[in-house]
């Protein structure tokens, strides 16, 4: 499993990586980005078809290109529609409109509110592994 974290909050990235490690994911399989533009460039280089699962944790509020703009560009990529890609929106927003908007986008698997807990990470990973 390969994890891509897209969030401009250094503390969130650090704690999310530690929670993932506690859940059994090795840090070698994690890549993090502070900007959506950099993450999009990286994601464009991912193989179109790959048996390895890719998990993308995407924040909404990012400087420059925000999470919504990332999604617009991401959805144009063939990789975005691969059944082995699991994109989760992660946000501090508890706004129901943000949640509903995110869940209406076909490439988003679920929406989680920050801060993530160990239980939330385990639930998220279960959604990925149960889709084998």
pLDDT tens digits, one per residue of 111-125: 999 999 999 999 999
Q: Where are the domains of the chain?
A: 2-129
Give yes or no for residue 22 having a pLDDT over 60.
yes
Mean pLDDT of 99-120: 94
What does CATH list as the number for 2-129? 3.40.50.2300
Three-state DSSP class for 66?
coil
pLDDT tens digits, one per residue of 86-97: 999 999 988 899
CA dist 39 and 65 (Å) reads 10
Q: What pTM was computed for the model? A: 0.94
Structure tokens at 20: 């993932």
Cβ atoms 108, 88 nearer than 8 A:
yes
Q: Which residue has the tokens 């925000």?
A: 66
**Burial class for 106, CB neighbours closer than 10 Å (0-12, 13-18, 19+):** exposed
């Amino acid at each position: 499993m390969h994890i891509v974290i897209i969030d401009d909050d250094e503390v969130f990235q650090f704690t999310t990586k530690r929670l993932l490690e506690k859940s059994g994911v090795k840090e070698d399989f994690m890549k993090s980005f502070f900007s959506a533009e950099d993450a999009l460039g990286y994601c464009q280089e991912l193989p179109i078809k790959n048996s390895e699962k890719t998990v993308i944790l995407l924040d909404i509020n990012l400087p420059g290109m925000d999470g919504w703009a990332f999604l617009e560009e991401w959805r144009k990529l063939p990789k975005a529609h691969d059944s082995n890609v699991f994109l989760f929106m992660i946000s501090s927003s508890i706004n129901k409109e943000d949640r509903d908007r995110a869940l209406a986008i076909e490439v988003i698997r679920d929406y989680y509110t920050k801060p993530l807990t160990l239980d939330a990470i385990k639930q998220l990973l279960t959604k990925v592994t149960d889709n084998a």
